[in-house]
A and B are shown apart, each in its own frame.
Chain A
Amino acid sequence: MLATRIREVTALAAGTDLSLATRRLMDLCDEFPVFHDLRGAAMALRADYNMGRELGAAEMSGASGSALAERCRQLAAAIGQRSTGTAEVGHAPAAEVVFQAQQLTKAFRSGGHHFQLGPIDLELRTGRIVGVVGENGNGKTTLLRQIAGLLDHDGGTLAHPHAGTDPYRIRQTIAWIPQRSVRWQGTLLQNLRFQAAVHGTLGAANEDRVLYTLHRLGLTRFKDLTWKQLSSGYKLRFELAKMLMWRPKVLVLDEPIANLDLQAQQLFLQDLKHLAASQRDPVAVILSSQQLHEIEAVADDIIFLKNGKAVYSGAADSFDRDRNSNVFELRGVFQRAQLEQALGAGAILHIDDTGLIFRLTTPRTVGPQQVLKAIANADLEVSYFRDISTSTRKLFHQDP
């Protein structure tokens, strides 16, 4: 585990993504006791990166960027040197079950409309991310609220192996980040300090934890701002920072990236993945989203809800592995007939024209390379292409 992580930071330090490199260096020094003495250096590196980078700029540039990159490489080298001859420490943390739901149901009846969620079986394990996807009004938020302990269930059983049955204790292990963050008072720094202190991190450890988190999540320059002064993206990062203050076992996020720009989405999901898989404090993450591709990229497991039922629940990379056909989405400057002609009749099972894109279904034997090659041969101009054969996106287009 340690060797993998060292290889990762060494590679990152040699690259140009200083943001990721500084973050991972911090994580490594924080999570493994053998590097704790380098924690300060990693933190200083990250702090300099945060303060040196222009607000909104993708990356540091110029002499300062080069100098920082050099320092990253030096730190990575020091870590590499330190690890030489050190016994392999820290295996990948065992994925502990922190939440279990069996045959979970919830029914609503309002104005003649009846909706039932479930029954759903679900298991959350530390270090793993579960993505809940589905169209609007299919029960994603209801499911997440039940997992977060905010909403009671009608049927089935819930278990929190770490917290027993005391509701307060259970809530102490679950962090809930709603779609719209609840307004908080005071400055970001005050809130983080308070959050850490009320969960038992006191004195110098409190300050250290807060500073570490501020630097790690790039919030340093916003530490004295209030709720009103922060953008949606930073509010979300603040929620994540708060969570880091008390290290819950389960992190539940409802549509966290709905209001983020693409760069912020990437950054957030990257952090989420790293935090979930933390060596020291792994956390089980469950999040809902409409940004299917981003979620599928980060989630280990996917639950697809349709009319309250889990149409799919399982590993993200196992979806429709035994399929008979492939499905592609594409858009370009061509007509349906041109596409049919380019691919030939044998390669097409079905073409669905949504008006914006074509959804092409081919036999399993026809892969993305063949489709793209055929299009290129026909000299058709393509502006968008995606293979959704193993994506739950396919399920969006199935009639109920």
Chain B
Amino acid sequence: MKLLRKLIPDFLRQWDLELQRSHPRLWSTRIHHHLWFLLLINALVFALGLLIRVTTVKFPDPEDLFGWIMTPTVVYAAFWVYKVVLFTPERRFGIRKPFAEVGELGVHFISLLLIMTIPYNLALTVTYRIANLMTDAEFAEDVDTLNKNAYLFISGDGRLFSAPSNSYDEDAQPYLTSSSSHGYFKDLDEYVDRNRYVEDGPPKVGQIYEDHITAYNEMADPDLESYDPVRAAFHRVQIDSIERTCPFYFTAHGPFTPQAWGGIFLSDSLLEVGYVDLVRSGRPVDPEAVRRTIELGHVYSAYVTDRSVDDVLREFTQRRSSSFNLDTADQQIRNMWEAKTWNYDFLEWDTLIYVLFISCFLLAIVISIFKNLYWQPLLITAVVCLLLPITLLVFALILDEAVRNVNEEDILINTYYAIALFLAAWVFLAPRTSTYGTVRAVLAILANLIVPFIVFFTLTLLHIEWVIFGLDALQDSLYVLRDTAAFNDPALAALEMEVHDLEQRVQMILTVVFWANIALYVIALHSFFRATYTRMMALPERK
């Protein structure tokens, strides 16, 4: 503590004194110390972010870093909460101002959000450094080079099954042991068309392929009654033939751009096009392209196997799996792509709003209330909130009829409403019951946690369970129409549009209600609860 005090500069001591004398509520939030220490911590974290080793070959995953730094962040947050809850005007029966209480809630909320700058600082610093290891243009060029030559390095036999270890049919032996990796297809149209199902039309190659695989799997397994190695070898020949002519590769991608590229190599059909072109043209493989690819593999990964250009060319010519493995380089490039496009969970809008914002808001509420309380009520509240769902679960297990339908969401929602009902009942029972300060405090915490979401939860429940917006009925009508009407029936399109509109409206209503409920709580109910609570706490004990 003494060391921490030494870190406080004179001007901040002066502010501290001024706030202590003239703005006790603001002083008690410790926002000034909080900002100062966050500045220091963030400077350290930033320095740490700069010191962490970041090279193309090796760098940490920013999401992992975000997770690791959360531990010291939580420790700091706990320390901050401890400091913040020590001084409160209400506990000293000081002057109460409703809007000051809202302001206090706001300051706590901002303080909590600011604490989260610590993990974001580290993760974003490292992300920025990863993203700037090379320019986008250089990165795109490397990716393109690797993409264009990736077919030279296809490893493994890569298909759906491997050859059985024992074979009974010598005729089938060459097929069973052959590699089917370097497939090509004879007809692009057939490739494109291979899976498109047309009713009553001739079976497509994709369907035939699946049938052969199913048959092979049933006949090649000695443990099954259908075991028949000869017929299995036959199916294997068919499969191999299809694989050679129509490999089942899918998606195609363009060159890397931070916005559009999905971080996936061109390992699919376009690669095969390049391969087929090469084979058809009869051109020799360019050794320089192979050398460059090997070189790039080493640039992005320390774990790619050490192979010469000749090794690669020989394996390619012999139609063998390449022993030069680019997978680790591939993974590293995907990681760099994530950094360049800032594509992380902790930066998703949903995470920011619904995880960060809501959890900080809830914590701010708890701190605002907790400032007027002592540890005991808070712990009792925590136990109540834990015991209720456990009790519900036990009941659900006892009544095994119910347990089939009970899941975590049901338990949580039932807990939520059980607490809400208990609070509602207590309001009427209070005048006739013995009331202790601790009970009041527990009830106050529960009320503050229940109320900000009660309208939203209730509306959502009514929407899902009681279908108050009629969305299910409309969707049912749509399903019926889809089964009966023609594909291009205008009524179908109109109904689809109507369902879409209603979904959008329901979503909008729920969102508005959610935020309105929170706003109502912040503007009016929080002050009301605190005023009621402090009034209750001032009442004498009945015992």
Footprint of B on A, CB under 8 Å?
145-146, 149-153, 166-168, 170-172, 185-186, 190, 193-195, 197-200, 202-204, 206-207, 246
Contact = CB atoms under 8 A, between A and B. Distances in A.
A198 B94 contact: yes
A208 B92 CA distance: 21
12 contacts: A145-B540, A149-B540, A150-B541, A152-B539, A152-B540, A152-B541, A171-B93, A172-B93, A186-B86, A195-B92, A198-B25, A199-B94
Interface stretch (B16-24, B171-179, B402-410): B16-24
Interface in B62-115: 86-87, 89, 92-96
A152 B437 CA distance: 12
B93 A151 contact: no
Contacts of B361: none
A168 B535 contact: yes
Contact of A198 (B24, B86, B543): B24
A168 B538 contact: yes
Contact of B21 (A149, A166, A207, A246): A207
A150 B539 CA distance: 7
How extensive is the interface on chain B, given as a class? 20 to 34
Contacts of A168: 93, 96, 534-535, 538
Contacts of B540: 145-146, 149-153, 167
B542 interface: yes
Contacts of A199: 92, 94-95
A203 B19 CA distance: 9
A193 B20 contact: yes
B29 to A, nearest CB: 13
- CB-CB nearest 9 A-B residue pairs: A198-B94, A197-B24, A167-B538, A198-B89, A185-B86, A152-B540, A206-B21, A168-B538, A171-B538
Contacts of B180: none
Given A152-B540, A207-B21, A198 B534 contact: no
A18 to B, nearest CB: 31
Contacts of A172: 93
Contacts of A153: 540
B320 to A, nearest CB: 74
B95 A193 contact: no
Contact of A170 (B20, B86, B538): B538
A354 B535 CA distance: 52
Given A172-B93, A194-B20, 14 more contacts: A151-B543, A152-B539, A168-B93, A168-B96, A190-B20, A194-B24, A194-B87, A195-B92, A197-B20, A197-B23, A198-B24, A198-B94, A202-B21, A203-B22
A206 B22 contact: yes
A177 to B, nearest CB: 13
Contact of B92 (A186, A198, A202, A204): A198
Contacts of B535: 166-168
B28 interface: yes
Contacts of A200: 95
Given A198-B94, A199-B95, A193 B541 contact: no
B324 interface: no
Contacts of A204: 21
B541 A197 contact: no
Nearest to B86: A185
A79 to B, nearest CB: 30
B541 A198 contact: no
A202 B535 CA distance: 24
A167 B164 CA distance: 86
A198 B22 contact: no
Nearest to B437: A150
B6 to A, nearest CB: 15
Contacts, number: 71
A193 B93 contact: no
A140 to B, nearest CB: 17
A227 B350 CA distance: 46
A185 B543 CA distance: 29
B151 interface: no
B27 interface: yes
A260 to B, nearest CB: 25
A151 B538 CA distance: 10
Contact of A167 (B22, B24, B539): B539
A151 B539 CA distance: 8
A247 B21 CA distance: 17
Contacts of A202: 21-22
Interface in B484-543: 534-535, 538-543
Contacts of A150: 540-541
Q: Which of B28, B94, B96 gathers the greatest number of chain A CB atoms within 10 Å?
A: B94
Contacts of A149: 538, 540
A90 B313 CA distance: 111
A313 B540 CA distance: 25
Contacts of B87: 185-186, 190, 194
Nearest to B1: A226
A171 B537 CA distance: 10
A199 B92 CA distance: 9
A149 B28 CA distance: 26
Contacts of B89: 198
A150 B86 CA distance: 21
Contacts of B20: 190, 193-194, 197
B373 to A, nearest CB: 14
Nearest to A226: B1
B374 to A, nearest CB: 10
Contacts of A185: 86-87
Nearest to A173: B93
A188 to B, nearest CB: 13
A152 B542 contact: yes
Contacts of B95: 198-200
A375 to B, nearest CB: 52
B92 A151 contact: no
A204 B24 CA distance: 14
A168 B372 CA distance: 13
A197 B22 contact: yes
A320 B39 CA distance: 72
A149 B93 CA distance: 12
Contacts of B28: 194
B96 to A, nearest CB: 7
A191 to B, nearest CB: 8
A148 to B, nearest CB: 9
Interface in B330-349: none
Q: Which of B24, B95, B96, B535 gathers the greatest number of chain A CB atoms within 10 Å?
A: B24
A249 B397 CA distance: 59
A186 B28 CA distance: 11
Interface string B21-53: 111110110000000000000000000000000
Contacts of A145: 540
B21 A193 contact: yes
Nearest to A158: B540
Contacts of A166: 535
A167 B87 CA distance: 21
A167 B95 CA distance: 14
A166 B94 CA distance: 14
B539 A197 contact: no
A19 B535 CA distance: 42
A225 B443 CA distance: 36
B27 A194 contact: yes
